[in-house]
Structure 1
Amino acid sequence: MRTLVIGDIHGGLKGLVQLLERAGMTASDNLIFLGDYVDGWSESAQVISYLIELSKTNSCVFIKGNHDYWCEDWLASGIESEIWLEHGGLGAIESYKGYTKEEKSKHIDFFETMEPYYIDSENRLFIHAGFTSIHGVEREVDRRSFYFDRTLWEMALTADKRNKKDAASYPKRLKQYSEIYIGHTPTINYKQDQPMNALNVWNIDTGAAFTGALSAIDLRTKAVFQSDKLIDLYPNEQGRNRK
């Protein structure tokens, strides 16, 4: 039995299907998704439908990302927030054309069941973006950090470069968990097309929303699986680059 951790999908259903095929996924695999299922490529609604069906055959954990938060709000209220449209929301809106009210309602229910974070039996934390409290996610004052924080990843990178791995100088935030798995900040921003590791933090967002591939990592072996770059799977689209 494996556990696969999957990075940000951003409406790229073709990439998700290809990734799971290349990983050799079976019904015995546990799947942990780190959020941002929607916005960018043209199949946001179709990704959600696919994940709902996938949850019927596999044990799945669905973490909520900031894009999921925005999309859920639009589905429930019909209000298109400006910040959402500026960050790829148009792709999600277009993907829902032809969906019935009942189908949209099922998707709202699915968004509502997403977790802000997940901690497994080995004290590994799975979260979309990060957190700021040195005491861990349970004592986070502003829960928006779960969707938007980048300081945790920046801190892990900085401490790792300085070789701050001894007990005295190890960042207190990171001590709360054996490992931390995040998305949200594309590794292609650091000129890396593979998942990145800094101290005990693993970043699985390899920029599928832009010019990168969709990635998954085997939790035990740290083997990496990837789709093709989504710009190649959707050659006539611009992903998150369109307004």
Structure 2
Amino acid sequence: MRTLVIGDIHGGLRALDQLLERAQVGFTDNLIFLGDYVDGWSESAQVISRLIEASKHNKCVFIKGNHDVWCEDWLRDGVANPVWVQHGGQETIESYKNTSDAEKKAHLKFFNAMPLYHLDEQKRLFVHAGFTSMHGVQREVSPKTFYYDRTLWEMALTMDKRITKNSDLFPKRLTHYKEIYIGHTPTLYYHKYEPMNAANVWNIDTGAAFSGKLSALDIDTKEIFQSDTVMHLYPNEQGRNK
């Protein structure tokens, strides 16, 4: 039995299917998805249907990302946030053109059920973006922080590598968890094309929405699995490369 954590998909169904095949995912594998399933490539609605189907066979956790919040709002209210439309939402709306009302309701239920974070028995935390409370996620004031924050990752990146977890200098908000897994901030920003590790934080977003690949990480062995570069799987599209 493995536990695989999977980065931001952004409508790239072809990349998701390729990744699951390359990782040889079986029914005994646990899958933890870090959010942002939609917005970017042309198959957002199809990605959600695929994830719902996967949850029937595998033990899955689907963390909610900021793009998922926007899509959920649109499915519920029928109103498209202009910011969302400019950041991949238009492609998502178009992907729903041939989707039945029943499917849309099922997708809305799926989005509504997504947790903002997941904490396993070994105190490994999974969250889309980050958190700011020095007391941990249970004391976070604003739910939006879980899917917008970048300071957690920025802090981990700038830490002196000589500071260990047993040191008084180790940031208090990191001490509550054995490991923290995030997406949201593409590693492409740092010219890295595989998941990155800083302190006890792992960033699994390898830029599938842009010119990167979709990635999965075995959280026990740290083995990495990746799709092809997603833009090559959608040669006639731009994704979020606009």
TM-score, normalized by the shorter chain, greater than 0.5: yes
Q: Distance in 2 between matches of 1:232 and 1:169?
A: 44
Aligned positions, number: 241
Q: Distance in 2 between matches of 1:215 and 1:241?
A: 19
Please report how far the alpha carbon of residue 162 of structure 1 lies from its aligned counterpart in structure 2 after TM superposition.
Answer: 5.1
Please report how far the alpha carbon of residue 241 of structure 1 lies from its aligned counterpart in structure 2 after TM superposition.
Answer: 2.5
Contact 1:7 1:33 in 2 (8 A): yes
Give 5+ residue unaligned stretches, structure 1.
Answer: none
**Alignment correspondent of 1:38:** 38
3-state secondary structure, aligned to 2:11: coil
**Alignment correspondent of 2:147:** 147
3-state secondary structure, aligned to 1:83: helix
Contact 2:211 2:241 in 1 (8 A): no
Map 1:35-114 to 2 at 5 A: 35-114=35-114
Q: Deviations over 1:14-38 (max 9, x none)?
A: 0000001000100000000000000
Q: Distance in 2 between matches of 1:135 and 1:91?
A: 39
- TM-score, length of structure 2 as denominator length: 0.98
Please report how far the alpha carbon of residue 164 of structure 1 lies from its aligned counterpart in structure 2 after TM superposition.
Answer: 2.5
- TM-score, length of structure 1 as denominator length: 0.98
**Correspondence 1:164 to 2:163:** yes
Give 5+ residue unaligned stretches, structure 2.
Answer: none
Map 1:175-194 to 2 at 5 A: 175-194=175-194
Please report how far the alpha carbon of residue 201 of structure 1 lies from its aligned counterpart in structure 2 after TM superposition.
Answer: 0.2
**Correspondence 1:11 to 2:17:** no
Give aligned-pair identity as a percent: 65
**Alignment correspondent of 2:121:** 121
3-state secondary structure, aligned to 2:4: strand
* Paired amino acid for 1:178: K
Q: Deviations over 1:181-221 (max 9, x none)?
A: 00000000000000000000000000000000000000100
> RMSD in angstroms over aligned alpha carbons?
0.8
Q: Distance in 1 between matches of 2:42 and 2:75?
A: 17
Q: Distance in 2 between matches of 1:218 and 1:61?
A: 15
* Paired amino acid for 1:233: L
Structure 1 runs (4+) greater than 4 angstroms displaced: none
3-state secondary structure, aligned to 2:184: coil
